Chains A and B, each alone.
Chain A
């Protein structure tokens, strides 16, 4: 299964992906660091794919227990990570009346009432 050739090609892919990651992430403004971290947190939930692969090879009880635990943790990571990132980024959406005219926010009552109740659920 773990053929030397596969590992070498994997290493090749890994190194290129690291450089790609460095290039991509350097451009993220610090405004978005928390969603970025939470978003990448979601992406490493890809281990769920590994957990599913393991589940297919189970041949005894111990293996079954390990597979169930791994799939549970992986799903928690994927689902929780995605939902919380989506929720957070929803708050960064451009507001209907953006900054140029601060006085345009003449309806301040509308602003606080819309956001907090929806968020505190």
Chain B
């Protein structure tokens, strides 16, 4: 199908709007508008396509209505804590659509009166099917893990990499056969099933802590799948939009693996949680005393501080305690305490997740400080309140060569005058590494559920203000 000039120009308008939209996403002030500009771009692209549509309405209308209804309901209902799995789910939907388009085009080209599948057509269809299939099933597994339908720890089995290698080689072989035979309905079904299996096998071994990296990677995959679909259909709008997303996903993947101090290959093939035994040997050296504190003492300490930094981590997201943190901060601010939030790049379950959770609780984003901005603040901070974070404040990253997290950029909470750690128990974090911060002289522990403890703290601070 050739695309008329007016439609190509319409796609150009859509692409320009996408680019302007993404550009505005770079600042919190303009981000909302950016998304709306990109939304107009999408409407233009869809409108142009519908304008070229001469048939097929009986398929398009019911499917689009159903997709819209489900999409709106799900997107409006979901809690902000569940954002990572929702992004994974929608990502999978896009990838699945890309794979289906490739299959649909294959079916169309090979089953018509004059089958005409040339080499380039076959290669682009196969690539779209492969990348889309991997990203579809991989995203669904990531969704199941994040939604806790499946255990979050790495699932491993013997000869994992060998099996994946053989599967990939088999897919290349089948793909070659399809290309040479200019078709093969059974072969393409086997090929698609193989791609789906590869996606499942690749994401199963990835642990919960690595989810921010894997979601970013799958996002990038779906972008590339969309771009390849653009090659299949000869549509530049898909190529450009897909390339933009692919680039964005790759950057985030790299940023995340850098923030975790692990090369991407390690995330994919390392099954991090399993490494714990290796790093645990440092644990024997950590037999200091821990000091416990209680809500009353901590409330006094916080009330008379000049500057307090909250260090929220994954535990806060799990406890859904973001509103309680904000309330405590409001109370402290009323007493003249300066409150900041130190956000590690991988805090939460997807890139930037913690910022969204705190924004939901109405924390002004000017108080959310990135790692490099907040680290100089710790030495002049009276209390660093670590809430459900562990590895991102572990000084072993600075001073224990050989530790699995050695070299990982961390928040220097240990430099505050007093460190208070809110934690459920002494269990180590994802990396399974002991944290010497807990044994330091300037550290106090307060055990319990974060949400509960913070609510009690807020009440206590209020009480003391009244007294």
Contacts and interface: CB of A to CB of B under 8 A. Distances in A.
A46 B237 contact: yes
A42 B223 CA distance: 10
B234 A1 contact: yes
Interface residues of A, number: 102
11 contacts: A2-B120, A11-B231, A17-B247, A40-B245, A53-B235, A67-B56, A70-B100, A70-B101, A75-B68, A77-B90, A78-B67
Most buried by A among B63, B216, B219, B364: B63
Interface string A81-115: 11111111111111100110011011010011011
B264 interface: no
A70 to B, nearest CB: 4
B25 A80 contact: no
A32 B26 contact: yes
Contacts of A46: 42, 45, 226, 237-238, 241-242
Contact of A75 (B71, B101, B334): B71
Contacts of A47: 94, 97-98, 101, 225-226, 229, 238, 242
Contacts of A87: 75-76
Q: Kindly state the interface size class of chain B when it binds its partner.
A: 35 or more
Given A2-B120, A48-B97, A50-B233, A99 B38 contact: no
A92 B245 contact: no
Contacts, number: 424
B248 interface: yes
Interface in B67-118: 67-68, 70-72, 74-80, 83, 86-87, 90-91, 93-94, 96-98, 100-101, 103-105, 107-109, 111-112, 116, 118
Nearest to B30: A89
Interface residues of chain A: helix, strand, loop or mixed (majority): helix
A63 to B, nearest CB: 5
Contact of A54 (B101, B215, B345, B350): B101
Given A41-B91, A68-B59, A20 B19 contact: yes
B60 interface: yes
Interface string B321-357: 0010011001001101011000101000011110110
A81 B39 CA distance: 10
Contact of B46 (A49, A64, A73, A83): A49
B247 A72 contact: no
Given A20-B19, A37-B351, A42-B42, A102 B87 contact: no
